[in-house]
Amino acid sequence: MKKYFFGLTVFIIIVSTLFTGCETLESGKGEKQPYFSEKNEQKFLKPDQKIRFTIEGLSEKIQFTKDGKRLMLPVSYQEAEQIFGFDEEEIEILNDTSTGNPLWYRMNKVLNANKKQWPLQAAKTNDWGGNVLYILYLADFINVYEDKAPSMVDMTNAPDWFKDVLAYRKTVPNYGKTEKDFSINTLNAKIKAGNKEVVVSWTTNKYLKGVIIEWYHDEYMNRKKITITDGSTKYVFKDLQNLKPYKFKVSFADNSGEVIKKYWLDTTPRSGDKNKDYIKGTSDFVNAKYELLLTEDYHISCYDWGSDVNKIAFSKDGKMILVPNKFLKAENIFDYTKEEMGYEDIFWTRMEKVLKTEDKQKSFFASIAGENGNVLWLLYCADFLNIYQKKLPGVVDLSNAPDWFKTLMEQRKNSPDSYVKDEYK
C-alpha cells in the first residue's frame, strides 16, 4: 500500500456547495446524476463552503463538530478497526498524533484508489482546494467505516449536502473495498530465526490458493523459490548459514493463481548463544569478526529521503547517517554513471560505488543482519565516510557522530584491509 505523508495536524479542504438534494446533471442516457458523481471527478471544488479535518482533541469517532464545519478523526487506533487488517507499523502511524497521516492511511486502507488519484492527490489539487473525486473518496471512506465499524461513525452533525452524498454513494458502484479486499488486507506473514534455520509462517483465508516464497542472501537474481499449495501455514527453511542475513518474499496467490499480496521479511539465523552471536564491545570491530551481530548501543541506520539534506552527516542523536537525496555536483569525482545517478536507493548506490563488497556481503545485507546490523556494516560505514571525507571534505559533517564511531574511523584510515576500492584510495 502506498503511503502518503502530510505533516499538519489540521488542514482545510475547500468543499463545493454545488451539491444539493435537487441539483443534478443530465447523463447521456437521459438520467439525472448528482453533481458529486464520477462524471465530474476532476472538477475543482468551489470555495463557498469549508470543512476542516482535524485529529486534535479526544474524539474516538469519525464525526462532525456541532456546527458541521469540521470533521473530527479518531486520535488513535481503535479496537473496532481490527476488521480492516492494519499491521503493527500502520497502527503505530495511526497512534501518532503529530501528523495528518492517520487520515490518509485509513482512506488508503479501505478504498480502491490505486487506478486514479490517491485521496491525498485529489485533496491537493487546485492548491488544496480539492476536486469532486476527493469528496467521493471521503464519502465512500465514511460509508465503509459505518458499515464495518459502526461504533466509530456519527454523522449526526454532517451538513445536509454531505449526507446526500453519503446516501447516493451507497446506491452506486463506489471506491469502497469489498469483503474479498478486506480478507486480503488481513493476510500477513511472520518470520523467526533459529539455529541454521528460519521459520516462515502466514495466515490464510478462503480466497487463498497458496503462497510462493522466494529467498536469497546476496543478489536478488540468485534467489531460490518454493510454492506451497497444500493448505499449510508454516514452512521451515533448514541448512542455512548462521550469522548470514537472508531476505524472504512471501507472495499470496488467490484461487485463480494471481498474486494478490506480497510481504518482504528479513532475518539472520544464529546459534542462540549471545556470546557466539553478538559483539562483546568495540574491540570486536575488526574484519576477523565481521559477521558478529551488533547490540542496540551500536546500531546505526541510514536515511536518504530528506530533500533538505545537503551534506553527509549524522542525525542529532548520532544514530543515523543522513545523505542528500540527490547526487551533489562535487560527487562527479567518483565518476557516477547516468544510470547510477538514476537509482532510487541512492545511499546504497554511493556505498557500492566506492567500496568492495562482493567478497563478503553487500552493504544493504550487512545493515539488516540481526536486529541492528553486523560488524561489517560498521566497517563499511567507517570506510565510506573516510573516503568521502578525504576526497570531499566539505561534503561530510561528523560533528554529531558518536565518539566510538569517530575512533573506529581513525582506526580504519589507511588500513590495509579497508574496503575502499583501489581506484579511489
- Taking only the tens of pLDDT, the chain with its 425 residues reads 433 333 333 333 333 333 333 344 443 444 567 888 889 999 988 765 456 677 777 788 999 988 887 888 898 999 999 989 888 888 988 988 776 678 888 999 999 986 789 988 988 888 888 888 989 999 999 999 999 999 999 999 999 999 999 999 999 999 999 988 999 988 999 999 999 999 999 999 999 999 999 999 887 778 899 999 999 999 999 999 999 999 999 999 999 999 999 999 999 999 999 999 999 999 999 999 999 999 999 999 998 877 778 899 999 999 999 999 899 999 999 999 999 998 888 999 999 999 999 989 999 999 999 999 999 999 999 999 999 999 999 999 999 999 999 999 999 998 999 999 999 98
For domain 187-267, the CATH class is mainly beta
Write the CA distances from 296 to 282, 293, 359, integer angstroms: 13, 10, 26
DSSP state string for 124-173 = HHHHHT-BHHHHHHHHHHHHHHHHH-GGGEE-TTS-HHHHHHHHHHTTS-
**Residue whose C-alpha cell is 485529489:** 122
Which residues contact residue 37 at a Cβ distance below 8 angstroms, ignoring those fewer than 6 apart? 25, 132, 136, 168, 172
Q: What pTM does this model have?
A: 0.75
% the chain with pLDDT above 70: 90
Phi-psi region at 33: left, alpha or beta (left = phi > 0; alpha = psi -120 to 50): beta
Q: Where are the domains of the chain?
A: 10-178, 187-267, 278-424
Can you list the alpha helix ranges (DSSP code H) found in 248-374? 274-277, 338-341, 346-354, 363-368
